[in-house]
Amino acid sequence: MYDRRVVRGNTYALQTSVLPGQPDPIEIQRQQQAKRRALAKKRAQEQLRPRTPEPVEGRKHVDVQTEIYLEEIADRIIEVDMECQTDAFLDRPSTPLFIPAKTGKDVATQILEGELFDFDLEVKPMLEVLVGKTIEQSLLEVMEEEELANLRASQCAYEELRNVELAEVQRLEEQERRHREEKERRKQQQWEVVCQHTETAQKVAARAFAQRYLSDLLPSVFSSLRDSGYFYDPVERDIEIGFLPWLMHEVDKTMEYSMVGRTVLDMLIREVVEKRLAMYEQKENQPPTRKPEDELGGSGGVTEPPAGYEQSPAQPQGPLVDRDPLERRPDDGRYTENVVSQERKLLEEEEYEQARIRSTSGREVLQPREDLEP
Amino acid sequence: MAHARISMCLPPDINPTQAAIAYGCRALPKLNQELQSEDLLTRQKALMALCDLMHDPEHVYTAIDIGCLESLKALLKDSNDMVRIKTTEVLYIMTTHNVGREGFLEHDVILALSYLLNDPQSDCRKNLHLAFKHVAQLPSGAQGIVKSGLIPSLVWNLQREEEEIQVLLLDTLAACLMEDSTEALSSRVVPFLKQKLLSTNNDIRSKAARTLIAVSIPLEGKNQVWQHDVIPILVHLLKDSVEEVQANAAGALMYAMVTTQGKYAALDTEAIQPLMGLLDSSLSKARLNATKALTMLAEAPEGRKFLKPYVPIFRILENDTSEAVRRAAKIAIKVIEWKP
């Protein structure tokens, strides 16, 4: 109901003015009220409508039936109590077949042979359909089975082929593997053989090279040894070891002999000289001039025996020559003789011996040389 | 008053053991609900109805779509035998269709099924193994079985099961081992297969030989086959009465003889003669496998020496009907006449 005091709708919105097309809500309310008033009026007027007047006093209005047949109108229904008892032990009987009562007119008709339809003709299409459907169904089933059998057969064939192909593949794999292994083995063998070959070749080459290299070694070693003097010539060695010592020994001996000889000679000369000296001294008391020549010769002989002795085999006059220088010197060396004569003797003896040895060796050397020369 | 049911005799095409199948697209959802009901009878009737419906691949697809597999997985752990048998049957029928197999792999049903491997009911186990066999036909299914680690238990069961189930197990194992045989090899599958090779049942022998083919594809398998002395048995089987067995034995030999030890083991047991006999068998598979096996033998020098006089037979084989046999014969001749 529209009451202007109660604001409906959005209060924030401005109160819009009523659209011209729509009726005013106030108007609607007024119309409704008017309608109600009209209804109430109508009802009131209904009530005011004239009705049957009230019965006069002493009389009663009674409803009476005016139809032909009277109808009993009673408030209470006539009731009669009736009892009924079913037999307790009886089973419910089976429902009888419901045969509806015959209604309507009985009409009979008689169909004679051939009037309605020809069975054989009519049945053909039906039979065809029936039989056809049955056969179709069975054909379908049989075909299905055949298809299944074919599928299975092709599956088997496929499986066979697959097995065979797989076996073939495996066989080829196996073959490949064997061949490869064989090849590997052979390659290995060949490789070993080649290795051995190269090794032997290298060994041979190394040996040949070593031999060649070392072939010089021996001569070079020998030559270097020989150059550094590790080898000796046996003849030389023999000469050096055996011959030369003996030679030297012999030379020594010869020298010694000559020295001894000289010493003896010197002694002799000394004795002679001493005797002559003594004689001369005796004579000097008479003539002192002649004797120094002998002494000089003697001393000369003393100092130059090797030269003298070297020439001695060719010059038997040697000693005389020696004697003369000996004889000449004592004049100068009178004093020296007297003072150093003893020392000299010793020295001279040694020198004599050495000189003698040398001379003997020299003689002997000379002799073999002379022997060798021709 | 009239009732809806007119007479006590039921119409002839209602199966009292089956639940009523609702019309059209409501059939499967309603059955799914019934599967989850608490009442045993309802569940059983629903399962029977499901069995019938699952022959149609479209129903299989719808069923997987609305999640029947979850309810079926729950039912696998039911205590009632009938329920379990029927559930496994439903699952087995589903695996005959590819949609079903893929659904299996997505919803991890293999693992749920594996709990029933030791079920006391043999029917249950039979359905279970049928389901596994069909799953294993699919390569991804076989991988799924291998990945869920079922191979050792399957191999173990091979020993203990009855013959029918052994046949199914061998089929499953053959398919799975084609994918991956490492787990099986470590769970001693070769000795078990060796025993099976000597069984009296033809099917078992031929399937055991086929499983051996799968086992001896990897190198480890070949070594194990040689170590356990299976080769003499295989050579003996080459003279078996059943052609299928001969063909499979030749196939197993073909793989086992790739290794040198295998070759010499086979030569020691005189394998050449029976293999030559197989060359004019009627099964093309037998001819093919025998030719390939002889090719393997011809790799060895002794084999080549033996086979040299038989080259004309291979030349005849070159005009064989099957393309594969022709190729194999050509390769065989080439190998026999190879000079180092």
* Between A86 and B306, residue with greater pLDDT: B306
DSSP structural state of residue B309: G
Per-residue pLDDT, A13: 62
Is the pLDDT assigned to residue A20 strictly greater than 70?
A: no
Radius of gyration for the alpha carbons in chain B, expressed in angstroms and rounded: 25
The helix (H) or strand (E) run that includes residue A296 is helix A292-303
CA of B290 to nearest chain A CA: how many angstroms apart? 10
| Contact call for residues B104 and B145 (beta carbons, < 8 A) | no
Interface residue A248 vs chain B (CB under 8 A): no
Radius of gyration for the alpha carbons in chain A, expressed in angstroms and rounded: 97
Is the pLDDT assigned to residue B274 strictly greater than 60?
A: yes
The chain-wide mean pLDDT, for chain A, equals 76
Q: How far is CA B239 from CA A288, B155, B246, B254, in A?
A: 168, 27, 7, 16
Highest mean pLDDT among A31-40, A344-353, B196-205, B277-286: A31-40
* Between A324 and B44, residue with greater pLDDT: B44
Highest mean pLDDT among A67-71, A94-98, A262-266, B99-103: B99-103
Interface residue A148 vs chain B (CB under 8 A): no
Of A95, A98, A166, the CB nearest to B217: A166
Distance CA B294, CA B118 (A): 43
Closest CA to B231 of B180, B174, B179, B270: B270
Per-residue pLDDT, A98: 85
CA of B32 to nearest chain A CA: how many angstroms apart? 28
Is the pLDDT assigned to residue A308 strictly greater than 50?
A: no
Distance CA B199, CA B9 (A): 54
User: 3-class SS at A100?
Assistant: coil
Interface residue A166 vs chain B (CB under 8 A): yes
Among A237-251, B6-20, B90-104, B199-213, where is mean pLDDT lowest?
Answer: B6-20
Q: Can you tell me the mean pLDDT for A28-56? A: 87
**How sure is the predictor about A15, in pLDDT bands with cuts at 50, 70 and 90?**
low
Residue A174 with chain B: CB contacts under 8 Å: 258-260, 299
**How sure is the predictor about A21, in pLDDT bands with cuts at 50, 70 and 90?**
low
Q: Can you tell me the mean pLDDT for A316-344? A: 50
Per-residue pLDDT, A301: 46
Of B255, B260, B284, the CB nearest to A167: B255
* Between B134 and A14, residue with greater pLDDT: B134
* Between B159 and A207, residue with greater pLDDT: A207
Per-residue pLDDT, A49: 80
The ipTM value here is 0.76
Is the pLDDT assigned to residue A307 strictly greater than 50?
A: no
Apex B301 CA angle, B296 and B306, nearest 5? 80
Per-residue pLDDT, A184: 94
Interface test with B, best of A97, A162, A164, A183 (most B CBs within 10 A): A164
Per-residue pLDDT, A160: 83
- Tens of pLDDT, residue by residue over A134-150, are 999 899 889 888 888 89
Apex A275 CA angle, A273 and A276, nearest 5? 60
Number of CB pairs, chain A paired with chain B, less than 8 A apart: 47
Is the pLDDT assigned to residue B78 strictly greater than 80?
A: yes
- Tens of pLDDT, residue by residue over B297-325, are 888 888 888 888 888 888 888 887 888 88
Per-residue pLDDT, A352: 66
Is the pLDDT assigned to residue A369 strictly greater than 60?
A: no
Interface test with A, best of B171, B211, B258 (most A CBs within 10 A): B258
Closest chain B residue by Cα to residue A170: B258
**How sure is the predictor about A314, in pLDDT bands with cuts at 50, 70 and 90?**
very low
In order, the DSSP letters of B116-148 are GGG-S-HHHHHHHHHHHHHHHHSHHHHHHHHHT
Instruction: Specify the length of chain B in residues.
Output: 340
Interface residue A175 vs chain B (CB under 8 A): yes
**How sure is the predictor about A32, in pLDDT bands with cuts at 50, 70 and 90?**
very high
Per-residue pLDDT, A35: 93
In order, the DSSP letters of A331-369 are GTTHHHHHHHHHHHHHHHHHHHHHHHHHHHHHHHHHHHH
B188: left (phi over 0), alpha (psi -120 to 50) or beta: left
What is the identity of the amino acid at A145?
Answer: E
**How sure is the predictor about A361, in pLDDT bands with cuts at 50, 70 and 90?**
low
Closest CA to B37 of B11, B76, B71, B14: B71
Residues of B contacting chain A (CB within 8 angstroms): 2-3, 213, 217, 251, 254-255, 258-260, 284-285, 288-289, 292, 295-296, 299, 324, 328, 331
Among A8-22, A26-40, B10-24, where is mean pLDDT lowest?
Answer: A8-22
- Tens of pLDDT, residue by residue over A173-213, are 888 888 899 999 999 999 999 999 999 999 999 999 988 88
End-to-end CA distance of chain B: 103
Closest chain B residue by Cα to residue A183: B340
Q: What percent of chain A has pLDDT over 70?
A: 72
Interface residue A144 vs chain B (CB under 8 A): no
Apex B112 CA angle, B111 and B117, nearest 5? 85
Q: Can you tell me the mean pLDDT for A227-242? A: 78
CA of B69 to nearest chain A CA: how many angstroms apart? 26
Is the pLDDT assigned to residue A330 strictly greater than 70?
A: no
Q: Can you tell me the mean pLDDT for A154-167? A: 85
Per-residue pLDDT, A373: 46
Closest chain A residue by Cα to residue B340: A179
| Contact call for residues A263 and A349 (beta carbons, < 8 A) | yes
What is the identity of the amino acid at A164?
Answer: V
Q: What percent of chain A has pLDDT over 90?
A: 15
**How sure is the predictor about A277, in pLDDT bands with cuts at 50, 70 and 90?**
confident
The chain-wide mean pLDDT, for chain B, equals 85
Highest mean pLDDT among A185-194, A251-260, B3-12: A185-194
Interface test with A, best of B212, B296, B325 (most A CBs within 10 A): B296
Q: Can you tell me the mean pLDDT for B152-171? A: 85
Q: How far is CA A77 from CA A71, A72, A74, A81, B143, in A?
A: 14, 11, 7, 12, 89
**How sure is the predictor about A358, in pLDDT bands with cuts at 50, 70 and 90?**
low
